[in-house]
């Protein structure tokens, strides 16, 4: 036995790719396809050089961001949807659905296909949660397309995407649930969070117990331009509900938390016997590169509170969830990943596993 370690997903894109996207004026212009492919090849290669046993494609081809990649460019959307404010003062917006039906424009298994061609090790795939996409439906409703119809379509599309990734051999399918903590900021009563949990469980219930062992949930306070959208929300308001999700794996941002011991105690109290928790041991929005020894100590601290056979390590968040975020360089991202891999091995050695 050893301590498993996995990345979350995104890696900053090469500056040359971002410049080419800006020049083309269209992230899906055919002239960019060879550049995307080269960025993915380089990302996988650099991942493997860190010794990481699991890699991703770095989300190099998730057009615009991790949240709306599957719906970006749909003709039945408008750009003035749900607004996400960040502590640094900037905002991001989701598309707003203007008419039914709701369909994905692309599924994440296409990204998995390309990364798997280049990788010699296991490849995981991140997908967006149904609860995040549910925010596309306007509060005032839509004529001739009820919210109930929308939810039915949303759940079907999500299930299709996850199944396609599992069928193609994804090491894990990670459902990004960054809006979980944000929900408590928007609605401190917890009603919005509970509705998100219920919706995501409707999706998860479509999968077998065996499938759910390969499905994980990622939670963090959001990360963009060295800022977050909900770090001021106490984890105690989220984690009890989080572990009610019917998934086998949880990726919990922890390195950036002010009181990690408090968080670990909450996790220990609420995690279920069949759930594995990957704790964040590097902080992507912190410009300082962690040492392997710092990572080791964070892993050992987590092992003081969580069952060793259900403990893993990860990054707190992706390194560039929004494609135009250049606040972290590729070199910094891979240096942090190298520290995570080496530090996790040191922790495993110290624990005799």
pLDDT at 3 over 70: yes
Q: Assess if residue 163 is contained within a domain.
A: yes
Q: Assess if residue 299 is contained within a domain.
A: yes
pLDDT at 98 over 80: yes
Task: Report residue 183's pLDDT band, with 50, 70 and 90 as the boundaries.
Answer: confident
Q: Which of 40-49, 135-144, 294-303, 316-325 has the lowest mean pLDDT?
A: 316-325
Tokens for 238?
A: 């989220």
Cβ atoms 316, 308 nearer than 8 A:
no
Q: Are strands 96-97 and 77-78 parallel, antiparallel or unpaired?
A: antiparallel
Q: Assess if residue 7 is contained within a domain.
A: no
Question: What integer is the mean pLDDT of 278-302?
Answer: 96
Share the mean pLDDT of the chain: 92
- Using CA atoms, how far apart are residues 128 and 131, in angstroms rounded to an integer? 8
Domain count, the chain: 1
Cβ atoms 259, 320 nearer than 8 A:
no
- What DSSP element (H or E) covers 36? helix 33-49
pLDDT at 320 over 90: no
Counting runs of H as helices and runs of E as strands, what totals does the chain give?
12, 12
pLDDT at 224 over 70: no
- Using CA atoms, how far apart are residues 65 and 46, in angstroms rounded to an integer? 21
Percent of the chain surpassing pLDDT 90: 77
Peptide bond into 101 cis (omega under 30): yes
Judged by DSSP in three states, 347 sits in: helix
What pLDDT sits at residue 120?
A: 96
pTM beyond 0.85, yes or no: yes
What pLDDT sits at residue 226?
A: 60
Tokens for 122?
A: 């296991």
Q: Assess if residue 126 is contained within a domain.
A: yes
Give the CATH number for residue 104.
3.20.20.210
- Using CA atoms, how far apart are residues 225 and 327, in angstroms rounded to an integer? 5
Q: Assess if residue 4 is contained within a domain.
A: no
Cβ atoms 230, 184 nearer than 8 A:
yes
Residue 22: domain span: 15-351
89 φψ region: left (φ > 0), alpha (ψ -120 to 50), beta (else):
left
Residue of 56, 47, 21 whose CA lies nearest to 35:
21
Q: Assess if residue 243 is contained within a domain.
A: yes
- Residues 236-267: pLDDT tens digits? 999 999 999 999 999 999 999 999 999 999 99
- Using CA atoms, how far apart are residues 38 and 34, in angstroms rounded to an integer? 6
- Using CA atoms, how far apart are residues 201 and 142, in angstroms rounded to an integer? 25
What pLDDT sits at residue 298?
A: 98
Q: Assess if residue 2 is contained within a domain.
A: no
What pLDDT sits at residue 186?
A: 83
Cβ atoms 18, 63 nearer than 8 A:
no
Long-range contacts: 108-113, Cβ < 8 Å, 24+?
108/69, 108/70, 108/161, 108/164, 108/165, 109/161, 109/164, 109/165, 109/167, 109/168, 109/170, 111/57, 111/59, 111/61, 111/62, 112/57, 112/165, 112/168, 112/170, 113/168
Strands (E), 173-297: 173-176, 215-219, 249-252, 276-282
Q: Assess if residue 1 is contained within a domain.
A: no
């Amino acid at each position: 036995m050893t301590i498993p370690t996995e990345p979350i997903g995104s890696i900053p894109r090469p500056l040359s790719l971002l410049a080419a996207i800006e020049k083309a004026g269209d992230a899906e212009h055919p002239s960019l396809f060879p550049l995307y492919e080269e960025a993915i090849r380089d990302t996988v290669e650099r991942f493997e050089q860190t010794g990481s046993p699991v890699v991703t494609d770095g989300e190099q081809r998730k057009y615009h961001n991790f949240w709306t990649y599957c719906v970006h460019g749909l003709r039945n959307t408008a750009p003035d949807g749900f607004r996400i404010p960040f502590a640094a003062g900037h905002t991001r917006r989701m598309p707003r659905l203007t008419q039914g039906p709701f369909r994905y424009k692309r599924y994440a298994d296409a990204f998995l296909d390309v990364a798997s061609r280049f990788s010699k090790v296991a490849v995981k795939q991140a997908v967006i949660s149904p609860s995040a996409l549910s925010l596309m439906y306007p509060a005032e409703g839509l004529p001739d397309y009820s919210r109930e119809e929308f939810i039915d379509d949303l759940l079907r599309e999500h299930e299709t995407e996850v199944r396609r990734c599992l069928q193609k051999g994804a090491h894990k399918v990670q459902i990004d649930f960054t809006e979980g903590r944000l929900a408590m900021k928007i609605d401190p009563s917890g009603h919005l969070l509970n509705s998100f949990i219920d919706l995501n469980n409707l999706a998860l219930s479509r999968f077998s117990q065996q499938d759910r062992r390969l499905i994980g949930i990622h939670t963090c306070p959001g990360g963009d331009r060295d800022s977050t959208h909900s770090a001021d929300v106490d984890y105690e308001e989220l984690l009890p509900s989080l572990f009610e999700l019917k998934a086998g794996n949880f990726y919990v941002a922890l390195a950036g938390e002010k009181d990690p011991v408090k968080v670990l105690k909450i996790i220990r109290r609420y995690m279920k016997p069949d759930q594995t928790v990957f704790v964040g041991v590097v902080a992507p929005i912190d410009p300082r590169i962690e040492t392997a020894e710092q990572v080791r100590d964070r892993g050992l601290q987590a092992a003081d509170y969580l069952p060793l056979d259900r403990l893993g390590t990860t990054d707190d968040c992706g390194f560039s969830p929004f494609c135009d975020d250049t606040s972290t360089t590729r070199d910094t991202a891979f240096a942090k990943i190298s520290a995570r891999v080496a530090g996790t091995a040191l922790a495993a050695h110290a624990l005799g596993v």
